[in-house]
Each structure stands twice: as C-alpha cells, then as structure tokens.
Structure 1
Amino acid sequence: MLDFIFIALGLAGLVWSSDKFVEGSAAIANHAGMSPLLIGMTIVSLGTSAPEIVVSIMASLSGSGELAVGNALGSNITNIGLVLGVTLLIRSIAIDASTTKRELPQMVIVTLLAGALMIDGVLSIIDGALLLFGLVIFLTLLARRGATPDGSVDSNPKLTPLKAWGVFLVGLLLLVISSRLLVVGAVNIATAFGVSELIIGLTIVAIGTSLPELAASVMSALKGHSDIAIGAIVGSNVYNLLVVLAGPGLLGPLALNANVMSRDWPVTILTTGTLMLLAWVAYRNAKQGKAGNGELGRASGVLLVSMYTAYIGLLIFYTDFAL
C-alpha cells in the first residue's frame, strides 16, 4: 500500500514541480537577458522532459537501468498513442510543411539512431555519448533555422530575480524527491508482483512522466491551440531518446532486456512512422485540395489510441504476475 502512495505522490509531485522548474528557469533566463530562442532551446526543452530525465538518472543511479530505458521508450509511445491520440479526439490539428518535411523526419531519424545503438543488446558509455552528440546536432539545426522545439516561452513577469531562484530551486528539489518516490515505489511493486522493471517503466512510469504533456496538449486543444501539441510531442520525443536514453548508457554499461529490441523499440518506430505517414497524407491532401484541409482528425486519433491500447494489451500478454 505504501508503494502505491509513493507512486501517487511521485506522479503528483512531478507534474507540479516540473511546471515550477520551467517557470523559475524561464524567469531567471529573462532576467539574465537570454533571448527567447536560447530560452526555448535550453530551459523550456529541458523542462518539458525534466520528469523523464530526472527519473532516468535516479533509476540508473539506483541500479534500475531497465526502468530508465522503459521510461524513455514508453514515454515516446505514450506521447504519440495516448497524448496525441486523445488530443486528436478532442480537436483536429493542422499539419504544415515544416512539421512534415523537418520535425517528423528528424524524430524518425533519432528513433532509428537509438535502435542502431541498442541493437547489440547493450547501452554503453559510447552509446550515451553518441546520443548526447546527436542532441548537439539537433540543437544546432534548430538554431540555424531560428526555431524552438516547444514554441513560445511563457515566464512570470512578477517574479523578481530572488523569487525566480526560489521557485527554480524548489521545483528542482521536488523534481528529485518526486522522482525518487516514483522510482522506489515502482521498483518495489515490480518486485512484489514479479513484474520486470522494464514493464513498469513502459507503463506506470511512462504514463506518469507524460502527464505534463497530456495536460498541456488537452488544454491547448480545448483553448483552440491544438497545433501546439504536435510540436511539443515531437520535441519531447526527440529529447527523450537523446537525453533520457543516454542516462543509462553514461552511467552503465547496461545489458538490455531482449524484449527491448524484439518488442518495445519496434512499437516505438511503428507509432513514430505511423504519425509521419498520417501527417504526410494530410499535407499531400491539403496541397491537392482534397478533403481534410491538411488536418489530422478524429480518425487519426482513434487509430493512435487503438495502437496504444493494443500495445498495453501486448505488455499484459508478456507479463507473468506473481499473485
């Protein structure tokens, strides 16, 4: 019972503290005279994936590298299948040329890179370093075209420099504490029920660390700004693979569960490829003046949510519970 309380407190703490972390960080950056571009590429991008990153580090330091890998891949599957799928059920999203020709292909390339590095069954220090090098390339490409991965930056103008540092430090501290509670609770439950840490990372932890994206995407859709959702999801998925997945490697090496490459990474590339295909069809239809006006609609949402549901069913099939 206590472990479930740890998980609940950890998830709630992650959602609240990541928001405060970004708020304080953006305010500090603004007071320091950083440009919106630089803030978006660093502070906001880090904040979006902060739950996944901190959970990955804490899990790796605790000797639970499988949990970290499951979190990285599971979060990407959850972001596309559940977060974007639910958002599309609420409101359609227009697809533009930049998304189709740049952002989505980059996400596919990063997913393929991650698979190539994991195909030998080990995440090594070299693999982790290569993933971080990929992050440098990604940020360089963003800087050259003057774009940010998560859109505009919102900071609280009422925060003085001192208050900004206070909010930042409180957010960072609670991020670490919440992540620790989540990891401890998840590992204990996995042990008690005889479920692998990989499965827990792919499900409970992945959904939990994707709650900020889910809340932001749904609220954006309800406010009529659903176009923001796909950009945030693409950016989050790229950072999950280049930063979150790098953690177990840099703190490793980590021998991967065989199911990572036979089951979980294929589903990751399948959902990623499906999103790219749906976006390409929508964009092509818009150029040709066909129905849909270049939008991903409810039909796409149903497909993505169905794929996610099928994947969860697959995980249940693979799992032997010790009851």
Structure 2
Amino acid sequence: MMTWLLLGLGLVLLVAGADTLVKGAARLAGAFGIPSLVIGLTVVAFGTSAPELAVSVKAAYAGQAELAIANVVGSNIFNVLFILGVSAVIVPLVISKQLIRQDVPIMVAASFLCVWMVQDGQLSRFEAAVLFAGLISYTVFLFRQGKQQGADGGDDEVEALLKEPHPMWQNVLFVVGGLALLVLGARLLVDSAVALATAWGVNEAVIGLTIVAAGTSLPEVVTSIVATIRGERDIAVGNVVGSNIFNILCVLGLSGLVSPVPLLAGAQMAALDIPVMLAVALLCVPFFFAGAILNRIEGALFLAAYVAYTWYLVALTLKLDYLPQLQDYIVYGLIPVIGVYVVLSLLNDFRQRRKQVAS
C-alpha cells in the first residue's frame, strides 16, 4: 500500500511541477522580451511532456535503462489510443490540414527512426544525439514557420498568461520550485515502479509501458479532454501529436545522452511494443485523412485497441491460460475490423471528394 501511495504522490508532484515550471518559464521568457509565439512553440508546447522527460532521464541516469524507453513507448501508445479515443467519443475531433500534411508525417517518421535505431536491442549515445539534434531542427522549423504566419500564429493562452502581473522573483521561484517537484516526483515514481516490478516478479519495462506511461501522460489527458469540452477540438489532436514527437526526439534523446550505458529495449519491447507504437502512429494517417475528422466510431476503435493491447501485455507477462485465445481475438478479430473500417472510410472519402470536384 505504501508503494502505491508513493507512486500516486510522485504522479501528483510531476503534474504540479510541470504546470508550475511552464508558468514560471513562460513569464520569465516574456519578461525578457521573447514573443508569445516562440514561448508557445517551445515552453508551453513541450511542457505537457515534462513528466515523461523527468521520469525517463531519472531512470536512465539511475541505470534503469529499459524503463526509460518503456515510458516513452507506452506514453505514445496511450496518447493516441486512449486520449484521442476518449476525446473523440466525447465530441468528434477536427483534424487541421497542418496536422495531416506536416505533423502526423513527422510523428510517423520519428517512430520509424526509433524502430530502426532499437532493432539491435539498444539505443546508443550517438543515436540519442541524432534524436536530440532532430528536436533542435524541428523546433527551429516550427519557429520559422510561426514567424511566417505572423500575428495569426500567436497563442492566445500564452498571451493571457503573460498579462498576469507577477514579480521576477516569483517567476524564478516558480521555475526552481517546478524543477524541484519534477525531480522529486520522478524519483518517487521510478523507485515505486521498480519496487512494484520486483514485488510482482515482472520486468520493469511492463510497469513502464502501463502504469508509469499512463501516469506521466496525465497532463496530456487533462489538456486534450478540456480542449475537447471547450470546443477547441483541433488543439486536442495537436497536443497529442506534438507530445509524441517530443517524447521520441527529446525524451529518448536526452535520456540516452545522460545514461551511463546504452538504453535497452528487451526482446519483447523490440518485437511487440515498439512496433505497436509505430502501428498506432501509422493508423493516424488514414483515420485523420478520411474526412479530416476523428469520429466517435473511430474513437471507440482506438479505445478498443488500447484495451486489447494492455490486456494482452498483462496476459503475456502473467502467462495466463487464455493468452492464445486472446491473441486470436486480436489478430483475427480486432485488427481485421479496424482494417476493413479504414478501407471503407478511405473509399467513402474518395467518393465524397469526387462528388465535390464534379459539382
């Protein structure tokens, strides 16, 4: 019970630390004359992934090299299947053209790169440096694109945050306090996850793919669902896609750079979990492209896929008797259903576009 309480406390501290750090850093940047657009593209946009960064860096530095990758892979799967699934079930999500043409392909490319790099079972420091260089290039690209958009590219939420009067010392205190909460929360969460894995006799990666991944994605859950309820349905999708890109390029990159040994991807993770992460990213392409809307049926399919993946992961870890039947259900049931739905959706979208051109 104490382990679960410490794990819960760690999650609370991570979420509170990320929020506090973002507010303090954004106001400090504004005080130094940095435009709200740049703040929105860097500090705020990446702030929701601060828990994943803190946990993976702590795990890597402490020698739990497999937990560092598992956290990122599990978070990316959770973000798409669970967060977008729940959000789309609440209200169908609008997919912007920029997401379809730019951000989703970048997410897929980053996922492909991750799969290619860890096919030997590890992520070396050089490969981590390549990922982190990709983050810098991506951020510079977003900044230049935002400047070209001009005033229309501004972030209303950031501007509202900067208008709140706060003295400099308070902003510095927010940054320092936010970092301290993140460090403490990450330590509690990683230590609790390792303790649970030891008590249950399972691999640390399994805890990282499930409990830790879902917990560190809480800021994305809150941001996306609140944006959906408010009617900002494109923000809900953009938040998830941007977070997934950041997780691969920054969280994995920085974790690999600080780790004293290469980050590990065990046989199961390399053969199952990382390919699932790539498959989930690829699934976004037809679902987002068809009609530029993620409807309730597609949201339900996302949720069903997440439940099936998590259930299979638990059954595989615990070696449950019905594992072969569950695998047959997924391979011969759920996956074909999703495949048929994708084909029908694309055909229907093609017919609609032909009608529009004809008219």
Question: Do both share a fold (TM > 0.5)?
Answer: yes
1:98 aligns with 98
Uncovered stretches (5+) of structure 1, i.e. residues with no partner: 284-294
The Cα shift of 1:140 comes to 2.4
Identity of paired residues, percent?
A: 38
Measured in 1, the distance between the counterparts of 2:231 and 2:276 equals 30
8 Å Cα contact 2:68/2:263 also seen in 1 = no
Uncovered stretches (5+) of structure 2, i.e. residues with no partner: 320-359
Measured in 2, the distance between the counterparts of 1:150 and 1:267 equals 35
8 Å Cα contact 2:26/2:43 also seen in 1 = yes
2:318 aligns with 320
1:307 aligns with 305
Measured in 2, the distance between the counterparts of 1:87 and 1:151 equals 22
8 Å Cα contact 1:87/1:218 also seen in 2 = yes
8 Å Cα contact 2:73/2:277 also seen in 1 = yes
Q: 2:273 aligns with which of 247, 258, 264?
A: 264
1:288 aligns with none
1:229-269 C-alpha deviation (Å, 9 max, x unpaired): 11111110000001111244221213320112210011101
1:193 maps to a residue whose letter is W
1:197-216 C-alpha deviation (Å, 9 max, x unpaired): 10000000000000111011
8 Å Cα contact 1:52/1:72 also seen in 2 = yes
1:190 aligns with 197
Measured in 1, the distance between the counterparts of 2:281 and 2:269 equals 16
What TM-score do you get using the length of structure 2 for normalisation?
A: 0.83
C-alpha distance 247-198 of structure 1, shift in aligned 2 (>3 A): farther
2:345 aligns with none
The Cα shift of 1:152 comes to 4.9
1:222 aligns with 229
Give the 5 Å matches for 1:149-160: 152-154=156-158, 155=161, 157-160=164-167
C-alpha distance 127-228 of structure 1, shift in aligned 2 (>3 A): same
8 Å Cα contact 1:74/1:201 also seen in 2 = yes
1:170 aligns with 177
Matched, 1:279 2:288: yes
1:60 aligns with 60
Give the 5 Å matches for 1:1-323: 1-146=1-146, 152-154=156-158, 155=161, 157-250=164-257, 251=259, 252-283=261-292, 295-320=293-318
The Cα shift of 1:225 comes to 1.3
Query: Helix, strand or coil: the match of 1:33?
Result: coil
Root mean square deviation of aligned Cα? 1.9
1:266-322 C-alpha deviation (Å, 9 max, x unpaired): 110111111121011123xxxxxxxxxxx211111101111111110111122138x
8 Å Cα contact 2:57/2:254 also seen in 1 = yes
8 Å Cα contact 1:44/1:153 also seen in 2 = no
Query: Helix, strand or coil: the match of 1:245?
Result: helix
Measured in 1, the distance between the counterparts of 2:156 and 2:252 equals 26
8 Å Cα contact 2:132/2:254 also seen in 1 = no
Measured in 2, the distance between the counterparts of 1:60 and 1:247 equals 9
2:323 aligns with none
Measured in 1, the distance between the counterparts of 2:101 and 2:155 equals 18
1:100 maps to a residue whose letter is I
1:27 maps to a residue whose letter is R
The Cα shift of 1:167 comes to 1.4
Measured in 1, the distance between the counterparts of 2:95 and 2:265 equals 36
C-alpha distance 301-109 of structure 1, shift in aligned 2 (>3 A): same
TM superposition outliers: structure 1 runs of 4+ over 4 Å: 147-153
Query: Helix, strand or coil: the match of 2:318?
Result: coil
Aligned residues: 311
1:290 aligns with none
The Cα shift of 1:61 comes to 1.4
